[in-house]
Amino acid sequence: MNDTVIKIPWAKSVDEKLIHIHDAVKGQKYYCPCCNEQLTFKEGKIKKRHFSHRSDTQCDPESVYHKLAKILICYAVYENARGNRKITLISKCFGCHGENIKTIPPHFFSSSHEEVSIDNYRCDVVADTQNSRKIAIEIYHTHETDENKKGKLSIPWIELKSETVIENPFLWRCHDFRFRLGFCKDCINHFMDVIRLCDKHKIDRNLYTPLNIPNDKKHNYIADIITCYRCKKNTPVFIHNNGPTDKAPHTICFVRTPKVKKGYLSNTCVHCEAIIGIRYINWETTHIKYLNDFEYTLEYKWFGSKLNKQKELDILRGKLMNISHK
């Protein structure tokens, strides 16, 4: 006997259709999607509407929430595949660590299946896209997905909390993930601002990338924008990423100071030629300051081989350059 009364907002109707509590009709029969026990429709002035199991139910709370979330994910994929619904995906932005909100349009998915084996691991749900790609969807209730499983799956995956799925199966808020590179709208706009500012001051586009991703092996410098401490105007700044330092934007100059008589390469303000040190850049820039954090994050969360990752960077950088040119 289970002493915990299990309350859920979803149930099955007599004809096996999933019904949300707000669409339920008092007097109709409803059943648990997991254990098939008949549920009680509860409606009160104080407590929220819900379906309730009997107090002597054999249904386990952890199992029912986990199972229900899997059923609802498959339901969301099914509705998307039929063209009836879009799905909102919220993950962490690769550029600023803020929220990256993407819309999965209708007809993106084709099907889904529960308990699918991938690379000797059992995935809660595997969804197939219209272009025959697979995405693993793991459900997290009280125990997070095994780290070995996360690291070794050969397909992209996301991890969703059961509570958020049950609350809204068409809003996927990633607790964890590993898939392709993605940036929020604010970051995309920032990258285009960087390109426009560099263009304004005739900085060769081939010398830098606006994307604050250290994996880029084709461009020597990563660019950002900073407000000069002296003239208070916006100026582009650059961090050396890889390759020779001599192929640098013209705002990077060889300077000598009383403390460093041998001289060194430093960013300078494009307006007043003030020397802009690396500490000031790390304090004041909006995107370069995240570079140190990205070394681990990108390795863990960015799905794909080194070759495919470079292709992604090239494609995205090319799109940004073309948009900014218009």
Domain-embedded: residue 1: no
Considering its fold, how many domains does the chain have in total? 3
Domain-embedded: residue 290: yes
Q: What is the side-by-side strand order in the sheet with 18-20?
A: 7-8, 50-52, 38-42, 30-31, 10-12, 18-20
Which region among 5-19, 193-207, 243-257, 282-296 has the lowest average model confidence (pLDDT)? 282-296
**221-274 pLDDT, tens digit each:** 999 999 999 999 999 999 998 888 888 999 999 988 888 888 899 999 999 999
203 and 315, same domain (yes or no): yes
Domain-embedded: residue 2: no
189 and 321, same domain (yes or no): yes
At 293, is the pLDDT very low, low, confident or very high (cuts 50, 70, 90)? low
Tokens 């060889």 locate to 254
Pairing label, strands 221-227, 275-276: unpaired
138 and 196, same domain (yes or no): no
33 and 114, same domain (yes or no): no
Give the residue from 19, 44, 59 where a domain finishes: 59
128 and 222, same domain (yes or no): no
285 and 231, same domain (yes or no): yes
142 and 253, same domain (yes or no): no
Domain-embedded: residue 39: yes
Task: State which residues form the domain around 47.
Answer: 7-59
Among residues 144, 141, 140, 138, the alpha carbon closest in space to that of 126 is found at: 138
151 and 247, same domain (yes or no): no
48 and 73, same domain (yes or no): no
Q: What is the mean pLDDT of the chain?
A: 90
Most confident of 1-15, 37-51, 93-107, 207-221: 93-107
How far, in Å, CA of 36 to CA of 53, rounded?
10
Average pLDDT over residues 48-67: 81
Give the residue from 178, 206, 232 where a domain finishes: 178
Question: What's the pTM?
Answer: 0.86
171 and 124, same domain (yes or no): yes
321 and 189, same domain (yes or no): yes
Pair of tokens at residue 214: 């250290």
**74-95 pLDDT, tens digit each:** 999 999 999 999 999 999 999 9
Average pLDDT over residues 92-113: 95
- What per-residue confidence (pLDDT) applies to 295? 64
Give the residue from 23, 39, 59 where a domain finishes: 59
Element (H, E) at 321: helix 306-325
195 and 291, same domain (yes or no): yes
Pair of tokens at residue 18: 């999933």
- What per-residue confidence (pLDDT) applies to 298? 78
Domain-embedded: residue 85: yes
Domain-embedded: residue 44: yes
Domain-embedded: residue 226: yes
Tokens 């960077």 locate to 313
